[in-house]
Structures are given as C-alpha cells and as structure tokens.
C-alpha cells in the first residue's frame, strides 16, 4: 500500500511536521517523499479564501459567492438546496485551488444568544444532520474535502477557548452528538474539526472518548481529525486521544513535545503513525490541481437567490401579501439599502456582487412614496452586524432600539405595515400584533434582494419553515439564567432543548419549530404507520403553486421530513422510513466542578483577565493596539462593501482577542507569538518580573521543517 510504503520511509522529524499545519491554511509538504501540501479555506456558506501574503484577517479574501447562511438554508427544509450550494462552493474551491473547505458547522442551537447561531442549522439534531450531510455530499462531489465542525458541544462563544461544557452522556448522545453521527455515516466527510472547549473537564483536542471511542470505534470514522485554529493544548495527549492534525501549525513547541515524547517513550510511535497514516490517506485522495475552467459567477449569484427565496419564512400575513403592484409603497429601515446578508467572523465572504432589496426594486421600476402619500409601508429591520458575531454571544434577545421605535411609529400611522426581517437567530418581536405581515429572510446571501422582491410581489411563494423555536422572550429559554456567564457551561436542561422543552412544559412561544405560512393553503391527512414506514398525504387546496413540508414527529421528536411542491388542486403522498435505533440507556448525571479563580492568571486564562494587574493591562493594551490600528485603517476606506467588511473584520478581531487565552493565541500565531511568550504574559501579569523575562528570552529549539530543508 502506498501510504504504508511512505510511512516506513519517514523520519520522526518528518512525521512531526506532517501532523502540523503551516502558513495558516496549509498542511506541511514533505518534498523528499513527494508528499504534497493541501490548502484549506474557511467556509461554510461560501469560500473565504485568504489572499496569498495577506495578514490572515477576515477581510482580505478573494471574491466568491456569499450563499445564504446555515440558519437560512435549514429553514428551507430542503436538503437539495444544501447539496446544490455545496456543489457550487466546491466548484469555486477547485477554481481557486482549495483542497478542503472548513465547514459546515453543525452545532446545536442550544440558546438563541449564541453569537454563531447564524452559522449553524438547527436546534434539532436530525434536521441539522440531514442538512449538513447534504452540504457535505455537494462539496465532496467536486473532489473537494470538507471539515465538519465543531466537535463537540461548542454551543456558545463568550468562553469558547477555555469553556467547560458540562453535560450527561444521555444529553450528549441524544442531542449534541447525533448530527455528527448522521453526517459521518451518510456523507463520510474528509475531516472533522474538534472544538476549542472542554467537555466534562477535558479539552476536545485531547478527548479520547470523543475522538476515538465514539467517533472512530463506534461510528467507524476513518478520516482526519484536526483542531480548530489554536485549539491545541497538550500535543502528546492529543495524539494519544486520536487528534491527527494541529492547525494552523508552525508552533515550535508542539513539534518539540512530539520529538521529546518519542525520545523518552511518553509518545508511542504507533500513536504518531496513526495520525500520519490518516493524513497521508487524506492527501492521497484529495490533491488535485486547480481547475482553470472559469466559474459561472452569474449562475451562482442566481442560485443564491433561488435558495434564499425557498428558505424565507412568512411568519405573519393578514392578507397584505403578496403585493399586487398597485399599492402606494413607503419604504423604511436601513436594511433596505444596506441589507445584512451574512454573519461576521471567519465565515465572512467577499461577495462577487451584492443585490440589495433597493437594487431589486430599482431594477423592476418599483415606485416608492414619502409616508403620507402611501397606503402600505415596508420596513426592513432586524439584527445589525454589531449584534451577532463569531467570538461573542449576544447580550440580550432584543432588536436594536432604533428599529423598534421605527416600527412602532409606523404601526401607528394607520397604514398597512409589512416588516421584512434580517438576522441570524431569533429575537423578541414586541410589535408582532401591531403589524400586518412579517417576512423573515434570516441572512439570505449576496442576492437576497432579488429573493425579497420575488416573495413580496408573489413571483415566488414563501415555503420556509422555522428550524428553531422563536420564544416570546428570553426569560422563557431554559438556559437563560446561566448561558455564557462563565467558564463552566452547565447543560442543566439536559435533552429539553428547543421545541422539546417548550412542548413538554406548555410554554407559549412566538413561533414554534417547523412553523411557516404560505400564499396558498394545504390540507394534511393523518399519518399512517406500517412497520417503520409512515405515510402522509398533502393537497394544495389554494390557488397558487407552493411548497409544503411533511414533518413526522414520533413521541414528540422529529424523525423525518420531506418537502414537496404542488400546483393548485394537486396532492402527493409522502412515505418516510424511520431508521431503527438501538435502545441504549445512557447515564443522565454529570459532575459540576468548583468555579475557577480568575487570578493568578495562567496560559489558559481569558485574555481580558490580564487587566487585573498593572503589567497585565500594559500587555493587554499592547496586543489590542493592533486591532485598534486595523479599525482606524478600515474607517479610512471609501464607503462601500470593502469598508463594511473591513470594519466587521476589526470588530471580529477585537471580540476574538477578548475571548482568547494566551495559550490559544500562541497556538494560532505561530512564530509571531511562541508558547514561551504566552508563559511570559502569565508570569508578568502575576507580578513575576524575572520569571516573565526569562520566559520571553527562552528559545524553543526544533529542526527545520522539511520544506525549509528542501529550500536550503
């Protein structure tokens, strides 16, 4: 076998390099053995390809199609949307020479305040698994690999670099691992990315039960497991646990730990060889040259609108929609011209072009009026960029006050009011009873404006269904008192997540899981059961073509679904086979550790903890000065998408720095901040001046990388 032949020829130094990344987004090549380098790129709802020679920020990237985010796509309840999107993204990856896309993200939406919920599919593991598998199959059909993330229990952002997710095995098995299991078994992803956080006191990067016992032995996974960027802690422990690839790599300390571990026997060679074998198999299957064939960017732009229109959710309609075209429309709200179409963070794409609602209205010659002349008002509102982002959780579940005041004032005008919402997760809707219609676009991608026009004017019929519950108020959420408040994140609600909780305890909600209106009407038969097969008939009883979703719940839990499209008077019978699951009783207990003191600080402390001492504040501000400089440069740019993305990138970096740890920062920054610097930060903050200086002066000796040897 080629892999075994190569493995036998590798030196320990070459093996230590192979299991480490390089240049932020690449695997290490081994030129002596003709082992090529793989290139990775952020995803998951489009390609965020860092420009060569860039600063690894989130704004300097190549143009690519910004598709609807997972929060949007899941609301379509149509896996074909995810598959087609994945295939298009894979095509763009091939064009740019990217071998593996970092996505999709499939973590469960445990709490609506999670800042990264826009990047995740659902509160339900079955729906998340089906949609995630479809995207994986779409991407990998083009020869490009994926990295399904973040494994596992990464459900909040405030303390994600050091947080400890505390949950029972029953909770993990039934809610937080199930979607990963489905994707592994139905889509065979090339790689899986481990999360930053701890699970019951052990970091995911060195969690043998997660990475080996469950993922590999139980589920049969045979691909690569890599870290999230900077998620490495103990390199020897991680290899023993089943973690193959450390990213972004270029950390001298990790190679030193490997070489010393092999030398003194604390790292068995067989554990290092397992990781190398997985990476060699991945490289052998994945390496393909860039495809010079031009991408049909216009077709992908159109696909983004097609998906957005199929996934938008009509939450309320008192007969005002669809618009006939004869209304005298007044348009209000900043998101009409400055549509929010994607989230902020590592998934932020530089779009090939953007079509806002205003662009679409102008293209169709839609005339608008100042307010007193109108009979119908369209308000474009929702969550703006500063309200939700990777790197931090939202502070509350409210919309911006300025948006609420605008809607309130317009609802008192006596006009018909239609609210078009944008945002990546649920928020409170205190105006719901005061307006005539609400159309939820979520984050619809770069061509969301075209989808908005088609839906408002009846060119297309809304058919999306909520993939998450919209509570009345945040206080109704089961984890509202403790979520995101500290390092120990206790999953006290167990399996009662989302609709499972609201249904069991009869808690009123604003809009339930699976809800969505249409411009037509449907009649549903009762479900009938024959063995494991359930059948259900749906008839379009209205006068418009439309889509409807058959949703099968067994004992209150979603077990299957199918979306169908029907002409007026047409009916269809849906058959869903429920897979047998072994009846296993899992422990439903967990142990809550004692709260950790924030001082003295360690390399694992939250970066903001440095502010507890005079020297720590100096170090903190020195690092943050880089981010402040980035913000000033962004604000100097001319108005337009480039400036908007640069500002969003600066905000993101500030959030990341605050929630980071010195250890994670060193594991992500490579040569710019070696591990001994992280140790020095901790010592200086704690007042140990001499120890801190010694740490900074310490040198970590490692051999040259194989690529450097080749160059020499």
Q: What is the pLDDT of residues 83-124, one digit of tens each?
A: 999 999 999 999 999 999 999 999 999 999 999 999 999 999
Average pLDDT in the chain = 95
Domains and their CATH numbers in the chain: 520-576 (2.60.40.10), 607-711 (no CATH)
At 653, the pLDDT band (50, 70, 90 cuts) reads confident
Per-residue pLDDT, 501? 98
CB 462 within 8 A of CB 320: no
Catalytic residues: 228
At 642, the pLDDT band (50, 70, 90 cuts) reads confident
**Is pLDDT at 56 greater than 60 in this prediction?**
no
Per-residue pLDDT, 712? 65
**Is pLDDT at 557 greater than 60 in this prediction?**
yes
Q: pLDDT tens for residues 14-43?
A: 999 999 999 999 999 999 999 999 999 999
**CA distances (Å), origin 135, targets 45, 69, 205, 380:** 9, 12, 25, 30
Token representation of residue 20: 């480490």
Residue 319 per-residue DSSP state: S
- Alpha helices for 22-121 (secondary structure H): 70-74, 79-96
Give the mean model confidence (pLDDT) for residues 344-356: 92
Per-residue pLDDT, 53? 56
Query: Which residues contact residue 358 at a Cβ distance below 8 angstroms, ignoring those fewer than 6 apart?
Result: 331, 336, 337, 449
DSSP secondary structure of 599-668: -S--TTS-GGGGGGSHHHHHHHHHHHHHHHHHHHHHHTSPSSHHHHHHHHHHHHHHHHHHH--HHHHHHH
Q: pLDDT tens for residues 585-606?
A: 999 999 999 888 889 999 999 9
Give the mean model confidence (pLDDT) for residues 543-558: 97
At 58, the pLDDT band (50, 70, 90 cuts) reads low
The C-alpha atoms of residue 285 and residue 283 are separated, in whole angstroms, by 6
Q: pLDDT tens for residues 152-211?
A: 999 999 999 999 999 999 999 999 999 999 999 999 999 999 999 999 999 999 999 999
Per-residue pLDDT, 57? 53
Q: pLDDT tens for residues 288-335?
A: 888 889 999 999 999 999 999 999 999 999 999 999 999 999 999 999
């Amino acid at each position: 076998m080629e892999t075994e032949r190569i493995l036998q020829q590798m030196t320990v130094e070459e093996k230590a390099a192979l299991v480490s990344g390089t240049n932020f987004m690449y695997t290490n090549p081994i030129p002596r053995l003709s082992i090529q380098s793989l290139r990775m790129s952020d995803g998951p709802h489009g390609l965020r390809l860092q420009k060569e020679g860039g600063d690894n920020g989130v704004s300097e990237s190549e143009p690519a199609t910004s598709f609807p985010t997972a929060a949007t796509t899941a609301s379509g309840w149509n896996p074909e949307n995810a598959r087609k999107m994945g295939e298009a993204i894979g095509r763009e990856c091939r064009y740019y020479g990217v071998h593996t896309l970092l996505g999709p993200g499939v973590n469960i939406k445990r709490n609506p305040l999670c800042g990264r919920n826009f990047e995740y599919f659902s509160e339900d593991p079955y729906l998340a698994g089906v949609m995630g598998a479809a995207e994986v199959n779409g991407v990998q059909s083009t020869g490009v690999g994926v990295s399904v993330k973040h494994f596992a229990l990464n459900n909040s952002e405030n303390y994600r670099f050091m947080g400890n997710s505390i949950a029972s095995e029953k909770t993990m098995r039934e809610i937080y691992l199930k979607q990963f299991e489905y994707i592994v078994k139905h889509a065979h992803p090339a790689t899986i990315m481990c999360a930053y956080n701890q699970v019951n006191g052990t970091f995911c990067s060195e969690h043998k039960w997660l990475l080996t016992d469950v993922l590999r032995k139980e589920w049969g996974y045979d691909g690569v497991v890599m870290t999230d960027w900077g998620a490495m802690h103990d390199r020897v422990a991680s290899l023993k646990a089943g973690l193959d690839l450390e990213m972004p790599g270029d950390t001298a300390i990790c190679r030193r730990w490997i070489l010393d571990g092999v030398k003194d026997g604390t790292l068995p060679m067989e554990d290092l060889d397992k990781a190398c074998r997985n990476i060699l198999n991945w490289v052998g299957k994945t390496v393909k040259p860039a495809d010079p064939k031009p991408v049909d960017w216009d077709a992908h732009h159109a696909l983004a609108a097609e998906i957005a229109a199929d996934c938008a959710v009509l939450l309320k309609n008192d007969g005002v929609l669809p618009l006939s075209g004869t209304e005298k429309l007044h348009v209000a709200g900043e998101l009409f011209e400055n549509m929010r179409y994607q989230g902020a963070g590592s998934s932020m794409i530089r779009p090939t072009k953007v079509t806002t609602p205003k662009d679409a209205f102008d293209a169709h010659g839609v005339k608008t009026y100042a307010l007193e002349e109108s009979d119908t008002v369209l308000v474009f509102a929702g969550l703006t960029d500063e309200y939700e982002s990777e790197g931090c959780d939202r502070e509350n579940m409210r919309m911006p006050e300025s948006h609420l005041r605008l809607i309130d004032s317009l609802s008192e005008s006596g006009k018909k009011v239609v609210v078009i919402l944008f945002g990546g997760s649920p928020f409170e809707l205190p105006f719901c009873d005061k307006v005539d219609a609400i159309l939820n676009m979520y984050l619809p991608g770069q061509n969301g404006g075209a989808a908005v026009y088609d839906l408002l004017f009846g060119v297309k019929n809304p058919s999306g269904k909520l993939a998450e519950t919209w509570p009345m108020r945040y206080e109704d959420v089961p984890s509202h008192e403790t979520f995101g408040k500290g390092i120990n994140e206790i999953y006290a609600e167990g399996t009662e997540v989302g609709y499972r909780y609201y249904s069991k305890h009869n808690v009123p909600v604003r809009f339930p899981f699976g809800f969505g209106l249409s411009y037509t009407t449907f009649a549903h038969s009762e479900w009938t059961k024959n063995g494991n097969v359930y059948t259900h008939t749906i008839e379009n009883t209205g006068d418009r073509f439309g889509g409807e979703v058959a949703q099968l719940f067994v004992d209150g839990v979603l077990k299957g679904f199918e979306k169908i499209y029907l002409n007026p008077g047409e009916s269809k019978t849906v058959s869903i086979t429920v897979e047998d699951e072994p009846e296993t009783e899992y422990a439903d207990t967990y142990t809550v550790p004692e709260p950790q003191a924030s001082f003295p600080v360690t390399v694992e402390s939250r970066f903001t903890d440095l502010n507890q001492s005079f020297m720590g504040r100096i170090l903190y501000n020195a690092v943050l000065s880089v981010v402040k400089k980035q913000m000033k440069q962004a604000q100097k740019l001319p108005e337009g998408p480039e400036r908007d993305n640069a500002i969003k990138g600066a905000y993101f970096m500030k959030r990341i720095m605050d929630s980071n740890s010195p250890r994670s920062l060193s594991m992500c920054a490579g040569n710019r901040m070696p591990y001994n610097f992280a140790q020095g930060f901790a010592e200086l903050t704690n007042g140990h001046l001499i120890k801190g200086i010694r740490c900074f002066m310490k040198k970590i000796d490692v051999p040259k990388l194989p690529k450097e040897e080749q160059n020499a």
